[in-house]
Structure 1
Amino acid sequence: MKRTKKILLYVLMGFLLVIFSLLLLLTGERQEVKRKSISVIVDNSTSNRWTALKEGMEAAAKDYNLRLNYVSTVKLWSVTAELEMAAREMESGADGLILQMYASEGIGEKLEEIVPRDQCVLLETDITPEEYYQTVGPDNRKLGGVLAGQIRADYGESLQGKRVGIFCGNTGELSIRQRIQGLKEGLEDSEIQVVWELHEMGRTPDEAAENDCWETGADIVISLENDMTERAVDYLAENQDMLNQCKLYGIGNSEKVMYYLDRGFIRKLVVPNDFYMGYQSVEELAKKLEYRGESHKNIYTGYLVIDRTNLYDETNQKMLFPIVQ
């Protein structure tokens, strides 16, 4: 009799354990269903310049129990096309969007028809009027100023009379115009001679115009965004005699530009902290989705100034090549 009771007790305990396990499993599934989804739209989404950004986003998504969807894109050529992508994501059930806007002019009202401000964060560039949507990214005017400061520090008094060329990038973005402003303010009264500037507005790269710039010549070439910096080192790799004729200074954050910095193609590189930008953008949007009506205050992320002497410093390596465990 006692043995029978023990068997029944063991059977009951096993049954309860199974029920408890099933309840935990079902609860976990329900929690999985409730995870909010964030869609991310950036220019040329497969570019390795976004590696650190994505790692930062993944770290924040894990911390805040969010699901990320990276929308597959090539080079963004049209603000209309980008807004259509954003609309499709919201219609497909995205709870929020993180966007790197192709252009900044006059799109605030159009964007708000698609996604409310408390469901969206912008990367790198604000839209006009400024602070209409929250932006997470570097202080772009400061980046331009820092680059100018590095040039002045390297050349000192000998900067006077130097011929300078500027690869500006897509000046449809407010961020690029801010970088140009900071650069020119930083070089003011230096008595340099700007012999050419290349502005693109996001169109297909004009190789003929780029070649004309190089053939015009310059003692110092400045590139204000990653893609332009990559194209500059591509040209120098094919025309290495130019390395003795000019010095390249740039803004960039891809493995490619780090490689060419290490090889001596780039004199100084200003590197935005993309890991932090990725983490903060997801964190800010998580707060908006949770509490609705969070502050729209812009958040400025940091940067590094890298050259061949400090590229492999441990602290710099951690920021340049972060790995999410």
Structure 2
Amino acid sequence: MKSNRNLFILVVAVLLSIVLVASTSALIMSGVREDPVRISVVVDDSGSTRWASFLAGLEQAAKDNGVKLNVVPTGRNFTLKQQQMAINDEIADGADGVVLQIASSRGTEEMISEVSNKVVLMLVDTTADMDVDVEGKSACIDADNLAVGRALANEVRIAFGNDLSGHKLGIVAGNQKQNSLIERMEGFNENIASSGAVVAWTDNSIVDVSERIEICQSQEKADILVALDNTGLEAVCDYALRTGDKFYIFGEGTSIKNVSYLDDGIINSMVVPNEYYMGYQSIVAIMRRLDNKLTPMEDQKISYRVVNRENLFDESNQRALFPVVE
């Protein structure tokens, strides 16, 4: 009787093990499919050359992984509501994953939770408010933006022998609703504080930026202008060319337009995040999650480089600035 009971317990244990293995395998293999994976990309002003390196990374990763990629056409300064509508349309059309540069980092918990419960979500360029995600259904890949801000301040300090006494700064701060730009501002202020420079003005406009710079300069003129993002850097250079006003220019930039301004000597120094890697790794991370639901997504940081007129044509800088999809 006892041996029969032991046999029964053994059989039940084996059956439970089989069920557990089968369930786990089904979960792991849930990402395996016959149709190509579809990943949609929603970023601000998607047609801007500011995204050239990023898009090249996305396209290369999509090619390497057999992904059907769709970059959603967007205008400049897309709102959170517009982004959510675009994402819902992509999910309805069968998207398996979404790469998103979120318009604002504040009050985004509900939106991020809703999207990541339907598809795999990778934030790029900036972090955002989100609920605790113990399953790792979403993540963010961006630069160390505190370090980018510090690097910009360091370039200004180097250019003036570490003594900026008597110099005035104008800061084009960009969208201060995004964590990335908030952190860059923090890093810049932290590193420039002891230099002796005075901040004449700070502007965080996201529309008519070049015109806003002109207004700020008319009120209190700065001889050093610093832009915390690519759009602001283009606007500073456009203002300089339009008015003939003379000042030193530093900033973060990724577009061909800003590379041209650097080559022409209009920009003194530019910090360039590795957005090719940001694009490539976004696809890789989404695919890893789709292939194995037990693998949580993890935040990642991308590197950056400092480029000036002297090192612009170094081979490594050329590869970073002008990546080629093979």
Counterpart in 1 of 2:9? none
Per-residue CA distance 1:90-117 (angstroms, 9 max, x = gap): 1111001000000010112222113338
Change (3 A) 1:293 1:221: farther
2:131 is the alignment partner of 1:127: no
Distance 1:255 1:282 in 2: 24
* Pairwise CA distance, 1:295: 3.0
CA distance in 2, matches of 1:221, 1:206: 13
- 1:53-108 residue CA offsets vs partner (Å, 9 max, x unmatched): 11111111122211100101011341111111111111111001000000010112
The normalised TM-score by structure 2 is 0.84
> Do the aligned residues in 2 keep the contact of 1:168 with 1:225 (CA within 8 Å)?
yes
Aligned to 2:159: 154
Identity of aligned residues (%): 32
Matched, 1:297 2:302: no
Aligned-partner Cα distance in 2 for 1:130–1:142: 26
1:221 equivalent in alignment to 2:190: no
2:193 counterpart letter in structure 1: E
- 8 Å CA contact 1:195–1:218 kept in 2: the answer is yes
User: Is the Cα–Cα contact under 8 Å of residues 38 and 97 in structure 1 kept in the other structure?
Assistant: yes
Query: For residues 193 and 107 of structure 1, what CA distance do their matches in structure 2 show?
Result: 35
Residue 163 of structure 1, aligned match among 161, 168, 171: 168
Q: 1:174 to 1:74 in 2, by over 3 A?
A: same
Letter in 2 for 1:239: T
Confirm or deny: 8 A CA contact 2:96 2:119 kept in the other structure: no
The answer to whether residue 228 in structure 2 is matched with residue 235 in structure 1 is no
CA contact (8 A) 1:136 1:299 kept: yes
For the pair 1:188 / 2:189, whether they are aligned, the reply is no
Which position in structure 2 is the counterpart of 1:211?
Answer: 214
Q: In 2, Cα distance between the equivalents of 1:130 and 1:277?
A: 23
8 Å CA contact 1:118–1:292 kept in 2: the answer is no
CA distance in 2, matches of 1:270, 1:206: 20
Q: What letter is aligned with 1:171?
A: Q
Alpha-carbon separation, structure 1, partners of 2:164 and 2:122: 40
Structure 2 CA distance for aligned equivalents of residues 297 and 185 of structure 1: 28
Determine helix, strand or coil for the equivalent of 1:323: coil
Amino acid aligned to 2:229 = E
In 2, are the aligned partners of 1:269 and 1:307 still within 8 Å (CA)?
A: yes
**Residues 256-295 of structure 1 aligned to structure 2 (within 5 Å):** 256-295=257-296
Q: Which amino acid aligns with 2:100?
A: L
Q: Any conservation in 2 of the 1:104–1:173 contact (CA below 8 Å)?
A: yes
Q: Deviations over 1:289-318 (max 9, x none)?
A: 111243332111111101110101111101
Q: Say whether the 8 Å CA contact 2:248–2:267 is kept in structure 1.
A: yes
Instruction: Letter of the 1:230 partner, please give it.
Output: E
Segments of structure 2 that go 5 or more residues without pairing to the other structure are 1-31
Cα distance, 1:122 vs. partner?
0.4
For the residues of structure 2 that align with 1:120 and 1:284, how far apart are their CA atoms? 10
* 3-state SS of paired residue (2:39): strand
What do the CA deviations read for 1:272-291 (whole angstroms, capped 9, x no partner)?
11111110111111111111
Deviations 1:21-59 (A, max 9, x none): xxxxxxxxxx99611100000111111111111111111
Identify unmatched segments of 5+ residues in structure 1.
1-30
1:322 is matched with which residue?
323
1:109 alignment counterpart: 110
Q: CA shift at 1:129, angstroms?
A: 4.6
Distance 1:49 1:32, change over 3 A: farther
Measured after TM superposition, the shift of residue 157 of structure 1 is: 4.3
Q: Alpha-carbon deviations, 1:115-169, whole Å to 9, x = none?
A: 3387000011011259864111211111001111111112124312311010000
Aligned to 1:179: 184
Once the two structures are TM-superposed, the CA of residue 239 in structure 1 deviates from its matched residue by 2.0
Corresponding residue to 1:142 among 135, 143, 147: 147
1:78 matched to which residue of 2? 79
Measure, in 1, the Cα distance between the counterparts of 2:60 and 2:39.
14
Separation of aligned partners in 1, 2:211 and 2:256: 26
Distance 1:178 1:111 in 2: 21
Contact 1:288 1:294 in 2 (8 A): yes
Equivalences, count: 290
Q: Which amino acid aligns with 2:234?
A: E
- Cα RMSD between the aligned structures? 1.9
